[in-house]
Structure 1
Amino acid sequence: MSHSAGQPGQVILPNNLPETLPEFVKKTNVADSRLGAKALFSTDDFFAPKDRLLKPELPVFIVAEFDDNGKWMDGWETRRKRHLGYDYTVIQLARPTKIKGVDIDTSHFTGNYPPSASIDALYAPELMQKSDAELASVSQEEWDKQAWQPLVGMTPLQGNSHEFVETDGEQTVTHVRLNIYPDGGVARLRIYGDIQLDSSNAGDETIDLVGALNGGRAIASNDAHFGGVENLLLPTKAPNMGEGWETRRRREPGNDWCIIALGQPGIVESIEIDTAYFKGNFPDQVSIQAVYAPDTPEATLITQSMFWDTMLEPQAVTAHNVHTFDNLVSDKPITHIRVNIFPDGGISRVRVYGKVAK
């Protein structure tokens, strides 16, 4: 694929996802900068900085866009290596995680992608306690001496494509090292898995049970035309309307809905619905249903969700506002919620505050 065609300044989006995606991409991407993942070190990032690997947005190609070092690329890119060796970058994950699979994305890298890559894993929770300044001072020699374990073996790569690799998901990991042989560029690295929470405080602390950093996951929605359900679970306040869940304008009877899995079974105390930035397109009402179904297949959850118990009767919501509801029908543990919006529209965040069930 050549990017020589196109007008200067034209932004080209990737169009290279396979028709069928692996099941593990439904897990949490713990290499997402919005969740706190960090690119800590790289042997080289002359052409494009390592931090771009963790951007949540699709990588873009901007025709005729150059910076001081050459062609601007939306990813991590090293210079051409003129000696033996290979390049690598170290990523600190958002939380300790059991990794189920990875996506090495070389979108827009055509004549400059690495022929192959591998990934090593590290469990070092003490490093996650260090400040950014302390982490920045860690040398390559110190990174080399860490107790890295193989996660993904040597894997051939193609240009402008996705390389999905499933992993065994047995070891809990805090850091990964992406090795590229010998050099080149990668647009994004996505690490999917199950966040491992500290169970010693179960039932003692009120947390956001559906928060992405607490293991909450988006399962399904009937529509997400303008924004995905996973945005509802992000830990920070939305920066704009684009970082929420928004459906198309409904032109038929009914209402829109989404299903969210709690990170762990919990007992709910209050629910927060944030319509930040949704001013002319917020729902008229919102309701919540819930179920305790820890081992039920997702396909069954979806089809049965309309019959779940009602936790929050339909409540009116307003534009660009945070709504807190504690008038809940809730005294038993649950594992999933269904958020119903009437009839359609968008919301920014959903918080489900409660305690992990003992």
Structure 2
Amino acid sequence: MHADEDGKLRVAFTDWPDLAAEKVGGRAVIANDEFFAPKENLLRPGRGVFIADRYTERGKWMDGWETRRRRSPGHDWCIVQLGLPGVVRGVDIDTNHFLGNFPEYASLEGVEVMGSPEPDALTSARWTPLMPQLRLQGGSRNLFFIASEQRWTHLRLNIFPDGGVARLRVHGEVRPELSRLTQGGEPVDLAALENGGVVVACNDAFFGPRDNLILPGRAAHMGEGWETRRKRVPGFDWIIVKLTTPGTVERVEVDTAHYKGNFPDMCSLEGCYLREPVVDFANARDIVWTELLARTKLQADHRHFFASELQAKGPFTHVRLNIFPDGGISRLRVHGRPA
């Protein structure tokens, strides 16, 4: 664990993106029971809300997945298809607002399968234990480290014996099928989260999480981008993306969608080739950055495309987007070819 700038303790694995989130294509495929609240709630944004006087024909409305009270032996379960297959570093089993009705224990299993198999095929698959049966607390984020280097496409959340879970977050490292990136010989987005790009550092992400910068698709609203606080001191803000594989850059897109009174005045882009991992980019002094895009004016709520303006091609392992002096960028696309 480590403390953030506000002094709150954070678990390191939560810095990895959520591989199961609804917004990256995660899907609750099947559950053995969802009497009180549907399984789809597990992967939705936020931690869930509580509305005191809201009821359905089946009972209290709850923002999560909730099963009926079990009156027979066994336990309840839900199978989730990861939107971004990869290596799971840790999970957050959030029981927010579930106090007298949360499961006493939970466990987790994983499987790697091709495509989108039918629910019956998934229930009969050979599941591998990822997390043993561990005790949960109600109304809490239950954070568990996962010690496995295997790639997974689906997870099965088991709850014992029954009850409700508000959200399931599956933090990990995207592991795409690299052969897919080289098929057809066309340029690919080397920075995209779904292709294995990773935001490894930024100096500020006060209003918008850093991983938003490389999410699939265009942002639906201002809250789905990367946005820094208003800068009151000299300097500029920056964010660094590790490309999915070393590659040459042919075209760059900087999208300020939905940022109108708070888009950066200018941006620039740099690249580097690193053969060894860097732990602290903010204080690293021996990284040689090469300018790809000189400081360039930006427009509000606009997709900016740069190709002929690029001053270097690489290959690069990382790119750094600098914004002057601050503001919000919804997406960064770095189209190129694996080196």
Task: Sort the Cα spacing of 1:277 and 1:293 in 2 relative to 1 into closer, same or farther, 3 A.
Answer: same
The answer on whether the counterparts of 1:219 and 1:298 sit within 8 Å (CA) in structure 2 is: no
* 1:52 CA displacement: 1.1
Asked if the contact 1:105–1:186 (Cα under 8 Å) also holds between the matched residues in 2, the reply is yes
2:60 to 54, 67, 71: 71
Secondary structure of 1:46's match? coil
2:331 paired residue number? 349
Deviation, 1:307, is: 5.7
| CA distance in structure 2 between the aligned counterparts of 1:85 and 1:346, rounded to whole angstroms | 49
Please give the residue correspondences for 1:200-279 in structure 2 after superposition, counting only pairs within 5 Å.
200-201=179-180, 203=182, 204-279=185-260
Counterpart check, 1:172 vs 2:151: yes
The residue identity in structure 1 corresponding to 2:317 is T
Q: Tell me which residue corresponds to 2:161.
A: 182
Give unmatched runs, 5+ long, in structure 1: 1-17
Contact 1:61/1:73 (8 A) holds in 2: yes
Change (3 A) 1:256 1:63: farther
Distance 1:70 1:330 in 2: 62
The equivalent of 1:146 in structure 2 is 125
Tell me the residue number matched to 2:93: 104
Alignment pair present for 1:123 and 2:112: yes
CA contact (8 A) 1:48 1:73 kept: yes
> What letter is aligned with 1:263?
T
Between the aligned partners of 1:87 and 1:276, the Cα distance in structure 2 is 42
**Partner SS state of residue 242, structure 1:** helix
**Paired amino acid for 2:50:** F
Shift of 1:294: 4.4
On the 8 A contact 1:269/1:330 being kept in 2, the answer is no
Q: Aligned partner of 2:270: which letter?
A: Q
Rounded to whole Å, the distance in 2 between the matches of 1:324 and 1:50 is 40
What is the root-mean-square deviation in Å for CA atoms of aligned residues?
A: 1.9
Q: Offset at 1:196?
A: 1.8
* Cα displacement string for residues 172-207 of structure 1 (whole angstroms, at most 9, x for unaligned residues): 211100000010111111112222222335553421
Q: Which runs of 5+ in 2 are unaligned?
A: 1-6
Aligned residue pair count? 329
Q: Is the 8 A contact 1:256 1:341 kept in 2?
A: yes
Q: Note closer, same or farther for the CA distance 1:118–1:218 as it changes in structure 2 (3 Å cut).
A: same
Where does residue 38 of structure 2 map in the other structure?
Answer: 49
Q: 1:11 — aligned with what?
A: none
For 1:101, what is the secondary structure of its paired residue?
Answer: strand
Residue 82 of structure 1, CA deviation: 1.3
Preserved contact between residue 96 and residue 125 of structure 1 (Cα < 8 Å) = no
Take 2:114 and 2:29, find their aligned partners in 1: how far apart are those partners?
15
For residues 325-336 of structure 1, the aligned pairs below 5 Å read: 325-326=306-307, 327-336=309-318
Range 69-78 or range 36-45, more displaced:
69-78
**Residue 23 in structure 1 maps to residue 2 in structure 2:** no
Tell me which amino acid in the other structure corresponds to 1:303. Answer: N
Q: Secondary structure at the match of 1:353?
A: strand
Structure 1 counterpart of 2:282: 302
Equivalent pairs: percent with the same residue?
A: 44
